[in-house]
Amino acid sequence: EAAVTQSPRSKVAVTGGKVTLSCHQTNNHDYMYWYRQDTGHGLRLIHYSYVADSTEKGDIPDGYKASRPSQENFSLILELASLSQTAVYFCASSLREAGQLYFGEGSKLTVL
Amino acid sequence: GQQVQQSPASLVLQEGENAELQCNFSTSLNSMQWFYQRPGGSLVSLFYNPSGTKHSGRLTSTTVIKERRSSLHISSSQTTDSGTYLCALELYNQGKLIFGQGTKLSIKP
Protein backbone atom coordinates (compact mmCIF):
# COMPACT_ATOMS: atom_id res chain seq x y z
CA GLU A 1 0.00 0.00 0.00
CA ALA A 2 1.36 3.38 -1.02
CA ALA A 3 2.03 5.62 1.92
CA VAL A 4 2.53 9.33 2.40
CA THR A 5 2.90 10.54 5.95
CA GLN A 6 2.89 14.13 7.15
CA SER A 7 3.99 15.75 10.37
CA PRO A 8 2.85 17.47 12.38
CA ARG A 9 -0.83 16.73 11.83
CA SER A 10 -1.78 19.91 13.60
CA LYS A 11 0.16 22.99 14.62
CA VAL A 12 -0.49 26.38 16.15
CA ALA A 13 2.10 29.02 15.27
CA VAL A 14 2.57 32.67 16.09
CA THR A 15 2.71 35.37 13.46
CA GLY A 16 6.28 35.89 12.31
CA GLY A 17 7.43 32.50 13.54
CA LYS A 18 9.00 29.76 11.45
CA VAL A 19 7.00 26.66 10.58
CA THR A 20 8.23 23.49 8.92
CA LEU A 21 5.83 20.85 7.63
CA SER A 22 7.37 17.51 6.78
CA CYS A 23 6.32 14.81 4.34
CA HIS A 24 7.69 11.29 3.87
CA GLN A 25 6.69 8.83 1.16
CA THR A 26 7.45 5.16 0.73
CA ASN A 27 6.01 4.93 -2.79
CA ASN A 28 9.34 5.30 -4.57
CA HIS A 29 7.72 8.14 -6.53
CA ASP A 30 9.78 10.85 -8.18
CA TYR A 31 7.16 13.60 -7.91
CA MET A 32 6.09 15.19 -4.65
CA TYR A 33 3.75 18.12 -4.11
CA TRP A 34 2.53 20.52 -1.46
CA TYR A 35 -1.05 21.72 -1.74
CA ARG A 36 -3.01 24.14 0.33
CA GLN A 37 -6.75 23.79 0.93
CA ASP A 38 -8.96 26.68 1.93
CA THR A 39 -12.72 26.88 2.02
CA GLY A 40 -13.87 28.28 -1.29
CA HIS A 41 -10.52 27.79 -3.06
CA GLY A 42 -10.24 24.05 -3.35
CA LEU A 43 -6.71 22.65 -3.59
CA ARG A 44 -3.94 24.91 -4.81
CA LEU A 45 -0.38 23.89 -5.64
CA ILE A 46 2.37 25.63 -3.65
CA HIS A 47 5.58 23.81 -4.61
CA TYR A 48 6.52 20.54 -6.19
CA SER A 49 9.64 18.52 -6.89
CA TYR A 50 10.59 15.79 -9.34
CA VAL A 51 14.08 15.01 -8.10
CA ALA A 52 16.04 15.29 -4.87
CA ASP A 53 17.75 18.63 -4.21
CA SER A 54 15.46 20.45 -6.63
CA THR A 55 12.11 22.16 -6.16
CA GLU A 56 9.75 24.04 -8.45
CA LYS A 57 7.22 26.79 -7.83
CA GLY A 58 3.57 25.98 -8.12
CA ASP A 59 0.66 28.37 -8.49
CA ILE A 60 0.90 30.10 -5.09
CA PRO A 61 4.56 29.94 -3.94
CA ASP A 62 4.81 33.37 -2.28
CA GLY A 63 5.63 33.12 1.42
CA TYR A 64 6.69 29.47 1.17
CA LYS A 65 9.91 27.61 0.58
CA ALA A 66 10.35 23.91 -0.10
CA SER A 67 13.15 21.44 0.41
CA ARG A 68 13.65 17.96 -1.08
CA PRO A 69 16.72 16.46 0.60
CA SER A 70 15.97 12.94 -0.65
CA GLN A 71 13.49 11.13 -2.86
CA GLU A 72 11.45 10.18 0.19
CA ASN A 73 11.29 13.53 1.98
CA PHE A 74 9.78 16.87 1.04
CA SER A 75 9.34 19.78 3.44
CA LEU A 76 7.36 23.00 3.28
CA ILE A 77 8.87 25.95 5.14
CA LEU A 78 7.15 29.12 6.24
CA GLU A 79 9.97 31.45 7.31
CA LEU A 80 7.65 34.18 8.60
CA ALA A 81 4.22 32.73 9.20
CA SER A 82 1.27 35.05 8.61
CA LEU A 83 -2.40 34.90 9.51
CA SER A 84 -3.30 34.33 5.86
CA GLN A 85 -1.35 31.06 5.89
CA THR A 86 -3.85 29.45 8.23
CA ALA A 87 -5.06 26.47 6.19
CA VAL A 88 -4.85 22.72 5.78
CA TYR A 89 -1.76 21.58 3.91
CA PHE A 90 -1.57 18.33 1.96
CA CYS A 91 1.48 16.54 0.67
CA ALA A 92 1.14 14.15 -2.26
CA SER A 93 3.29 11.97 -4.45
CA SER A 94 2.96 10.59 -7.97
CA LEU A 95 4.93 8.35 -10.25
CA ARG A 96 4.92 10.83 -13.12
CA GLU A 97 4.10 14.51 -13.52
CA ALA A 98 0.37 15.06 -12.94
CA GLY A 99 -0.04 11.32 -12.56
CA GLN A 100 -2.27 9.54 -10.06
CA LEU A 101 -1.84 11.34 -6.76
CA TYR A 102 -1.44 9.73 -3.36
CA PHE A 103 -2.11 12.14 -0.53
CA GLY A 104 -0.97 12.37 3.05
CA GLU A 105 -3.42 12.88 5.90
CA GLY A 106 -3.04 16.64 5.91
CA SER A 107 -1.56 19.15 8.35
CA LYS A 108 -3.83 21.73 9.91
CA LEU A 109 -1.92 24.97 10.52
CA THR A 110 -3.35 27.79 12.59
CA VAL A 111 -1.39 31.03 12.72
CA LEU A 112 -2.32 33.37 15.56
CA GLY B 1 -12.37 31.69 -15.98
CA GLN B 2 -12.95 28.47 -14.17
CA GLN B 3 -11.41 25.59 -16.11
CA VAL B 4 -13.19 22.90 -14.15
CA GLN B 5 -16.67 23.07 -12.71
CA GLN B 6 -18.17 20.50 -10.38
CA SER B 7 -21.90 20.09 -9.89
CA PRO B 8 -23.87 20.01 -7.80
CA ALA B 9 -22.03 21.89 -5.06
CA SER B 10 -23.90 19.82 -2.49
CA LEU B 11 -26.22 16.85 -2.59
CA VAL B 12 -28.36 15.25 0.10
CA LEU B 13 -29.75 11.77 -0.48
CA GLN B 14 -31.42 9.00 1.44
CA GLU B 15 -29.43 5.85 1.99
CA GLY B 16 -29.95 3.48 -0.92
CA GLU B 17 -30.41 6.20 -3.54
CA ASN B 18 -27.97 6.65 -6.41
CA ALA B 19 -25.73 9.69 -6.71
CA GLU B 20 -24.49 11.32 -9.90
CA LEU B 21 -21.66 13.85 -9.61
CA GLN B 22 -20.46 15.89 -12.56
CA CYS B 23 -17.19 17.50 -13.53
CA ASN B 24 -17.18 19.73 -16.61
CA PHE B 25 -14.09 21.30 -18.08
CA SER B 26 -13.43 24.03 -20.59
CA THR B 27 -10.02 22.94 -21.85
CA SER B 28 -8.30 19.97 -23.42
CA LEU B 29 -7.00 17.42 -21.00
CA ASN B 30 -4.86 14.32 -20.77
CA SER B 31 -6.63 12.64 -17.88
CA MET B 32 -9.11 13.02 -15.06
CA GLN B 33 -8.83 11.94 -11.43
CA TRP B 34 -11.52 11.58 -8.79
CA PHE B 35 -10.86 11.83 -5.07
CA TYR B 36 -12.91 11.29 -1.94
CA GLN B 37 -12.24 13.56 1.02
CA ARG B 38 -13.36 12.20 4.35
CA PRO B 39 -15.13 14.51 6.79
CA GLY B 40 -11.90 14.42 8.82
CA GLY B 41 -9.99 15.81 5.85
CA SER B 42 -7.80 13.08 4.30
CA LEU B 43 -7.99 12.51 0.54
CA VAL B 44 -8.32 9.13 -1.11
CA SER B 45 -7.78 8.44 -4.79
CA LEU B 46 -10.88 6.85 -6.34
CA PHE B 47 -10.15 6.82 -10.07
CA TYR B 48 -7.41 7.75 -12.48
CA ASN B 49 -9.34 7.84 -15.73
CA PRO B 50 -7.85 9.17 -18.97
CA SER B 51 -11.06 8.33 -20.85
CA GLY B 52 -13.92 5.87 -20.96
CA THR B 53 -15.56 4.09 -18.05
CA LYS B 54 -14.04 2.50 -14.96
CA HIS B 55 -15.71 0.59 -12.16
CA SER B 56 -14.79 0.04 -8.54
CA GLY B 57 -17.43 -1.66 -6.43
CA ARG B 58 -20.43 0.66 -6.28
CA LEU B 59 -18.53 3.47 -7.98
CA THR B 60 -18.35 4.18 -11.71
CA SER B 61 -16.32 6.91 -13.37
CA THR B 62 -17.03 7.94 -16.96
CA THR B 63 -14.90 10.47 -18.82
CA VAL B 64 -15.89 11.70 -22.29
CA ILE B 65 -13.09 13.94 -23.46
CA LYS B 66 -14.87 15.14 -26.63
CA GLU B 67 -17.81 16.34 -24.55
CA ARG B 68 -15.47 17.76 -21.89
CA ARG B 69 -17.15 16.05 -18.98
CA SER B 70 -16.55 13.39 -16.40
CA SER B 71 -19.05 11.85 -14.02
CA LEU B 72 -18.90 9.80 -10.85
CA HIS B 73 -21.84 7.51 -10.19
CA ILE B 74 -22.42 6.01 -6.76
CA SER B 75 -25.02 3.28 -6.67
CA SER B 76 -26.99 2.24 -3.58
CA SER B 77 -25.46 4.99 -1.48
CA GLN B 78 -24.49 4.36 2.15
CA THR B 79 -24.02 6.76 5.04
CA THR B 80 -20.29 6.07 4.88
CA ASP B 81 -20.23 7.61 1.39
CA SER B 82 -20.78 11.02 2.97
CA GLY B 83 -17.97 13.46 2.36
CA THR B 84 -16.61 15.65 -0.40
CA TYR B 85 -15.79 14.40 -3.87
CA LEU B 86 -13.16 16.24 -5.88
CA CYS B 87 -12.24 15.94 -9.51
CA ALA B 88 -8.88 17.01 -10.91
CA LEU B 89 -7.97 17.30 -14.55
CA GLU B 90 -4.54 17.12 -16.09
CA LEU B 91 -4.22 19.92 -18.59
CA TYR B 92 -3.20 18.80 -22.05
CA ASN B 93 0.55 19.04 -22.60
CA GLN B 94 1.13 21.03 -19.42
CA GLY B 95 1.71 18.36 -16.81
CA LYS B 96 -0.47 20.31 -14.44
CA LEU B 97 -3.47 19.32 -12.34
CA ILE B 98 -6.45 21.61 -11.80
CA PHE B 99 -8.87 20.74 -9.01
CA GLY B 100 -12.58 21.37 -8.95
CA GLN B 101 -14.26 22.95 -5.92
CA GLY B 102 -15.84 19.65 -4.91
CA THR B 103 -19.30 18.21 -4.33
CA LYS B 104 -20.34 17.74 -0.71
CA LEU B 105 -22.41 14.57 -0.45
CA SER B 106 -24.57 13.81 2.58
CA ILE B 107 -26.30 10.44 2.85
CA LYS B 108 -29.10 10.30 5.42
CA PRO B 109 -29.96 7.01 7.14
Q: B30 CA to chain A: closest CA distance, Å?
A: 9
Q: What is the pLDDT of residue B66?
A: 86
Q: What is the pLDDT of residue B60?
A: 97
Does an H or E element contain A33, and which?
strand A31-38
User: What is the arithmetic mean of pLDDT over B71-75?
Assistant: 97
Q: Given B41, B90, B97, which is nearest A106 (Cβ)? A: B41
**CB within 8 Å: B35 and A101:** yes
Q: Sign of dihedral through CA atoms A61, A66, A68, A73?
A: negative
Q: For every one of its 112 residues, what pLDDT tens digit does chain A have, with 9 covering 90 and above? A: 659 999 999 999 999 999 999 999 999 999 999 999 987 678 999 999 999 999 999 999 999 999 999 999 999 999 999 999 999 999 999 998 888 899 999 999 999 9
Q: What is the pLDDT of residue B2?
A: 63
